[in-house]
């Protein structure tokens, strides 16, 4: 009951001193906005990467020569020197790894794509076996992915990304049309759903052709190849990876006392590593931007100190009619908290808007994050308490007589 | 019934190496329903005594018993509670909250004992009616005359039905006509049964009371009953 009255008193005092309240708010808003911008942006980027990795199911892993988090130059050079993944090993893996349900070899090239008068350069060309669509979460917009028969008969069919469709077939149905990949004719059988851009990269500028057709046109890949492998179940993923590892080590003649000269990546492992990096990144950035929070807090404290000394007489009057120390303390703490919470809410919104425009520069989108909001609210509550408590205590401890005779 | 009893009260201020004795052993007794004036020249220790009686301050030495309770041993919260329930203070400078209406100023003591807002408003309105300011409830102090401000202060002092009304130079900032008005208000409140202590350095004002305690250099010099015929008030 008393607390409610004190809250009202605090609101009235804030309202009566609009300029002062505004200045304090500004200090808090600047602090919270800068921290929230960074938290939201980082959160959003991590979310996007996660969503991307999710396309690789939880029971899937990739065997490749390059990957993981690279922490040194030496590691990088060692990776560059590795033998490429030989896509002919697909059968060996399937034989040697009984827990591997599906093995999909892939090769990557780049080509220009032409239809009629339209031409698109540097299109990412993936050659894969037909089963890729069962392993990776490929969303078909219309038409279909290439089939087992297409693979076997080395048919010149192609599944195209949205950018390719848009550039070559604006207003025209792409299905059944013939396009040219570096001059070779392919028939469009399907169009992918749009994925959008990320980190400034257009992720829809690609085509997929049967691996057999890719081998025929581009030859055996020298560097850019890998396997996508799906284990029988999530539970058997680790064991499946061990089996695949044994097969690959023996095929690649890795001496028993040497580490793998390839990596097996799972979405989880990549995510863990990314998270570790993001955590350090986040701590650093949040640490730097916290300085502006401290500045905001100091503004709160400073203005409250002025307010307490200006209102010494008021405090004396309240004490003379029976206000206890805790009543005065609460009144001033409420003022601080109301200011920092309001500033915090505004800061959260502004920070989100700023983060959104920041990440849109690298073609990404973010969504409001629960973590961000909770962090923002706790931060602003924290500032209110930490920087408001000292002035509030000073007010509470004033001697009533001295306060009453204060000029 | 004894309301106030002090035993050898001392209040000493230390200013650097020097010690200032604002009160040097005050012993007095005030009964319920009395109307007392504390008189003395400026600097004699009147306000200091008043602040001790009003529990705004604690004595350096000595005993103070209010309504049978030893105040000298109380902590801050207990003193605040006594100020809230037992004491109604009226100051020379009114001490009203400038931004608040008369009604809100009068409500103030009720806020700190947790009264509900309806109860508060009802009691504050009633107190303002007692000082004949029912029609000025929503005025701010700046919109009121000196006498009206002091009446708001009196209403605030009365609102919680305190055991004593303490007034430290209540007419010090008022012209003589308004001073008489305020003193008549105290006379009336006394007639209604309130215990009243008024600090003043003016004989005219002191003579409204029934008993005058004179203070000199922090000690009680005289303590006399004012004969009925010398009283300034109506009663
Ligand atoms: N806070 C204080 N510090 C030092 N001396 C004080 C303080 N308050 C009062 N005094 C001294 O105590 C004496 C009595 O003061 P006070 O009670 O205010 O007198 P009165 O109200 O009778 O004018 C004065 O000499 C005054 O200077
Ligand atoms: Mg005085």
**Ligand 1 binding site (Cβ under 6 Å of any ligand atom):** B 13, 15, 20, 22, 40, 42-48
With a cut of 90, say whether residue B107 has pLDDT above it.
Answer: yes
Q: Kindly state whether B96 is in contact with chain A, defined as any CB-CB distance less than 8 angstroms.
A: yes
Nearest ligand 1 atom to the CA of A401 is: 1
Q: Kindly state whether B99 is in contact with chain A, defined as any CB-CB distance less than 8 angstroms.
A: yes
Q: Residue B111: which of A5, A313, A319 has the nearest Cβ?
A: A5
Contact B90, B127 (CB under 8 A): no
Q: A171 pairs with which residues across the strands? A: none
Please give the average per-residue pLDDT across B220-233, as a whole number. 90
CA angle, corner B119, sides to B115 and B121, nearest 5? 110
**Span from the CA of A258 to the centroid of ligand 1 (angstroms):** 91
Contact A27, A343 (CB under 8 A): yes
Q: Do A320 and B83 touch (CB under 8 A)?
A: yes
Q: Do A321 and B56 touch (CB under 8 A)?
A: no
Run of H or E including A158: strand A157-160
Alpha-carbon span B181 to B170, nearest angstrom: 11
Domain housing B105:
37-44+78-230
Please give the average per-residue pLDDT across B199-212, as a whole number. 95
Q: Kindly state whether A311 is in contact with chain B, defined as any CB-CB distance less than 8 angstroms.
A: no
Q: What are phi and psi of B91, to 5 degrees?
A: -110, 160
Return the structure tokens found at A136.
Answer: 């990776």
Please give the average per-residue pLDDT across A293-299, as a whole number. 87
Q: Do A322 and B114 touch (CB under 8 A)?
A: no
Q: Residue A321: which of B51, B109, B116 has the nearest Cβ?
A: B109
Return the structure tokens found at B227.
Answer: 């004969």
Q: Among B12, B17, B22, which residue has the most ligand 1 atoms within 8 Å of its CB, making it the best to mutate? A: B22
Please give the average per-residue pLDDT across A354-376, as a whole number. 79
Residue corresponding to tokens 């990549």: A270
What CATH number does the domain containing B178 carry?
3.40.50.300
What are the pLDDT digits (tens) for A174-212? 888 889 989 889 999 999 888 877 666 778 889 999 998
DSSP-derived 3-state class of residue A256: coil
Q: What are phi and psi of A180, to 5 degrees?
A: -115, 125
Q: Is B63 inside a domain boundary?
A: no
Residues of chain B contacting A9 with CB distance shorter than 8 Å: 111
Question: What pLDDT score was predicted for residue A328?
Answer: 97
**How far away is chain B from the Cα of A313, in angstroms, using its nearest Cα?**
8
- E-state strands within A74-139: 100-115, 118-128
- Give the side-chain half-sphere CA count within 13 A for A321: 32
For the beta carbon of residue A65, count every other beta carbon within 10 angstroms. 20
CA angle, corner B2, sides to B8 and B25, nearest 5? 10
Q: Is B92 inside a domain boundary?
A: yes
Question: What pLDDT score was predicted for residue A45?
Answer: 74
Ligand positioned closest to the Cα atom of B14: 1
Helix then strand then coil, in percent of chain A rounded to 5, is 55, 20, 25
Q: Is B197 inside a domain boundary?
A: yes
**Span from the CA of B199 to the centroid of ligand 2 (angstroms):** 8
Question: What pLDDT score was predicted for residue B234?
Answer: 59
| End-to-end Cα spacing for chain B | 22
CA angle, corner B138, sides to A311 and B158, nearest 5? 75
Contact A327, A317 (CB under 8 A): no
Look at chain B and report how many structural domains it folds into: 1
0.90 surpassed by complex ipTM: yes
**Span from the CA of A254 to the centroid of ligand 1 (angstroms):** 96
Contact A67, A390 (CB under 8 A): no
Torsion of CA A252, A253, A256, A257, to 10 degrees: -90
Question: What pLDDT score was predicted for residue A281?
Answer: 76
Q: Kindly state whether B83 is in contact with chain A, defined as any CB-CB distance less than 8 angstroms.
A: yes
Contact A50, A275 (CB under 8 A): no
Distance set, CA A39 to CA A32, A50, A378, A392, B157 (Å): 10, 16, 13, 31, 54
Question: What pLDDT score was predicted for residue B145?
Answer: 96
With a cut of 90, say whether residue B6 has pLDDT above it.
Answer: yes
Q: Is B70 inside a domain boundary?
A: no
Question: What pLDDT score was predicted for residue A140?
Answer: 83
Nearest ligand 1 atom to the CA of A402 is: 1
CB contacts < 8 A (A, B): 65
- CA dihedral sign, ordered A39, A45, A51, A55: negative
Run of H or E including A360: helix A325-360
What are the pLDDT digits (tens) for A54-112? 667 788 888 888 776 666 778 778 777 888 888 888 888 888 888 988 899 999 898 99
What are the pLDDT digits (tens) for B13-44? 998 889 999 999 999 999 999 999 999 999 99
């Amino acid at each position: 009951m008393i607390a409610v009255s004190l809250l009202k008193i605090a609101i009235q005092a804030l309202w009566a001193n609009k300029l002062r309240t505004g200045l304090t708010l500004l200090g808090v808003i600047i602090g919270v906005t800068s921290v929230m911008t960074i938290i939201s942006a980082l959160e959003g980027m991590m979310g996007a990467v996660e969503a991307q990795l999710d396309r690789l199911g939880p029971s899937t892993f990739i065997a490749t020569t390059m990957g993981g988090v690279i922490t040194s130059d030496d590691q990088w050079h060692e990776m560059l020197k590795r033998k490429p993944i030989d896509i002919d090993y697909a059968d060996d893996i399937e034989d040697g790894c009984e827990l591997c349900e599906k093995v999909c070899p892939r090769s990557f090239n780049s080509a220009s794509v032409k239809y009629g008068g339209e031409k698109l350069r540097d299109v990412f060309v993936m050659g894969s076996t037909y089963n890729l669509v069962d392993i990776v979460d490929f969303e078909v917009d219309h038409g279909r992915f290439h089939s087992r028969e297409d693979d076997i008969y080395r048919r010149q069919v192609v599944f195209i990304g949205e950018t390719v469709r848009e550039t070559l077939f604006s207003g025209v149905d792409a299905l059944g049309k013939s396009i040219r990949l570096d001059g070779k004719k392919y028939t469009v059988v399907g169009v992918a759903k749009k994925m959008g851009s990320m980190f400034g990269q257009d992720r829809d500028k690609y085509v997929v052709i049967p691996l057999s057709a890719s081998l025929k046109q581009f030859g055996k890949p020298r560097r850019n190849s890998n396997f996508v492998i799906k284990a029988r179940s999530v539970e058997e993923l680790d064991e499946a990876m061990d089996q695949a590892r044994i097969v690959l080590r023996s095929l690649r003649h890795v001496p028993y006392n040497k580490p793998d000269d390839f990596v097996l990546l799972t979405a989880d492992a990549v995510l863990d590593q990314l998270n570790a990096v993001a955590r350090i990144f986040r701590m650093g950035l949040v640490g730097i931007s916290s300085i502006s929070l401290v500045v905001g807090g100091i503004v709160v404290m400073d203005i409250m100190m002025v307010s307490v000394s200006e209102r010494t007489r008021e405090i004396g009057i309240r004490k003379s009619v029976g206000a206890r120390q805790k009543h005065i303390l609460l009144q001033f703490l409420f003022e601080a908290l109301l200011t920092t919470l309001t500033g915090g809410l505004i800061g959260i919104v502004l920070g989100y808007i700023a983060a959104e425009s920041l990440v849109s520069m690298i073609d990404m989108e973010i969504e409001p994050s629960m973590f961000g909001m909770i962090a923002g609210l706790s931060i602003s509550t924290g500032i209110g308490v930490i920087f408001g408590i000292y002035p509030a205590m000073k007010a509470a401890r004033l001697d009533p007589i001295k306060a009453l005779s204060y000029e | 019934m004894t309301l106030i009893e002090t035993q050898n009260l001392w209040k000493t201020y230390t200013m650097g190496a020097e010690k200032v004795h604002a009160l040097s052993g005050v012993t007095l007794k005030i009964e319920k329903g009395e109307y007392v004036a504390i008189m003395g020249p400026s600097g004699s220790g009147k306000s200091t005594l008043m602040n001790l009686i009003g529990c705004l301050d604690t004595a350096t030495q000595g005993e103070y018993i209010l309504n049978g309770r030893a105040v000298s041993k109380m902590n801050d919260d207990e003193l605040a509670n006594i100020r809230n329930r037992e004491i109604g203070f009226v100051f020379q400078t009114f001490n009203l909250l400038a931004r608040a209406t008369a009604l809100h100023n009068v409500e103030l003591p009720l806020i700190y004992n947790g009264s509900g807002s309806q109860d508060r408003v009802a009691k504050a309105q009633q107190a303002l009616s007692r000082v004949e300011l029912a029609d000025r409830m929503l005025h701010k102090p700046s919109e009121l005359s000196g006498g009206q401000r002091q009446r708001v202060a009196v209403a605030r002092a009365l609102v919680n039905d305190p055991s004593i009304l303490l007034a430290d130079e209540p007419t010090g900032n008022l012209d003589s006509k308004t001073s008489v008005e305020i003193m008549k208000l105290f006379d009336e409140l006394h007639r209604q049964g309130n215990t009243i202590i008024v600090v003043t350095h003016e004989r005219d004002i002191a003579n409204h009371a029934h008993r005058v305690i004179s203070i000199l250099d922090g000690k009680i010099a005289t303590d006399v009953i004012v004969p009925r015929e010398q009283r300034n008030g109506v009663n």
